[in-house]
Chains A and B, each alone.
Chain A
Amino acid sequence: MGCLFAMANVWVTAGRSTIYYSLDGTVTAMDRRLEKHPGLDDVYLISINSRAWIQIDKGLFDQLHIGSQLTKERWSKQIEVEGQSSRLEYSSDLVGMVRALPLICAILIGYGFFVAKQSAFQQ
């Protein structure tokens, strides 16, 4: 269960890079919302064609304005903004999560086995 949460972390953070999204349309709304540490953990949201908010990384948010035309294929790192192609990068959050995932899973699974073995030994 803990490993599922760790994997969900990677998936959600990867979603903010938009790399696994297919995007096509016009940015109709943008919002930057502050969290506990302004400038560090701000939340960047866009709406494409007035659909639900999508949380994206700061790098992409800075390239956009309301009315920007976006085109991007699913799983592609290339995005076209106003006809100009640019390359999406993985955020430091995602890189960190990808590094942390196997280590956290190894600790959880290893400790789970240790506890199970100890329980079996005592029964």
Chain B
Amino acid sequence: MTDSHARISRPVYIQTIVHCCLPAAPVTIVYYVCLGHRRDYLGHFSAGYGGTLIALVLAIIATPQNRFVALSGRLVICVTLFCIVGGILAEATVFRLAIFDLVDMCNQNIGAVLAGLTSIPCIQTAKQTLAANNQPGDAANKPSDSQLRSMLACGIGFLLLGTYFAVT
């Protein structure tokens, strides 16, 4: 890791966590305040958000560096849609306890859509950071490991929070 990477590492790490938590925190509060008696609704939202963030990180890792700039926009849309469909299938099969609950599915998908939106500033922060570093080797503009780790940590955090609220 170069000196410039070491210098920017911490702010980018914090910035990514802020980007990941900023939109989800007010929605979490809205669910808690308005629907506090049904914490499973908050759980489904949070799990949808966390699960989609994790899927986005995995998709970013799997995307070849030289094609990332061209693919990043479509990647976010495709992964978000994939998670929406995956959430619907999961709700219709493994999580179908009494009936296929449309409300649970909608809450999950609100989280998935918000996670898709959230990933856009994270990707843009990567572009800004790498442009600022002006390193030829980083011309692919892929988020750094530090950013991906931050996004992954937020995703796992929200998924665990969602599981806690949905199950307990």
Q: Contact residues of A with B, CB < 8 Å?
A: 1-2, 5-6, 8-9, 12-13, 33-37, 40-43, 45, 53, 55, 92-93, 96-97, 99-100, 103-104, 107-108, 111-112, 115, 118-119, 122
Are the C-beta atoms of B106 and A100 separated by less than 8 Å?
no
Which of B7-15, B60-68, B108-116 contacts its partner?
B108-116
- Select which of B34, B38, B117 is within 8 A of A115 by beta carbon: B117
Q: Compute how far the CA of A119 lies from the CA of B102 in the bound complex, rounded to whole angstroms.
A: 33
A-B pair count, CB < 8 Å, reads: 94
- Chain A min CB distance to B156 (Å): 21
**Chain A residues with CB below 8 A from B102, complex form:** 8, 12
**Chain B residues with CB below 8 A from A93, complex form:** 35, 38, 103
- Chain A min CB distance to B4 (Å): 20
Chain B residues within 8 Å of chain A by Cβ, number: 33
Are the C-beta atoms of B37 and A96 separated by less than 8 Å?
yes
- Select which of A5, A33, A111, A112 is within 8 A of B106 by beta carbon: A5
Q: Contact residues of B with A, CB < 8 Å?
A: 22-23, 26-27, 30-31, 34-38, 40, 97-99, 101-103, 106-107, 109-110, 113-114, 117-118, 120-121, 124, 127-128, 166-167
Q: Compute how far the CA of A108 lies from the CA of B128 in the bound complex, rounded to whole angstroms.
A: 24
**Chain B residues with CB below 8 A from A112, complex form:** 117
**Chain A residues with CB below 8 A from B40, complex form:** 35-37, 41
Across the A-B interface, the 4 shortest Cβ-Cβ residue pairs? A33-B98, A2-B113, A100-B34, A43-B98
Q: Compute how far the CA of A45 lies from the CA of B98 in the bound complex, rounded to whole angstroms.
A: 10
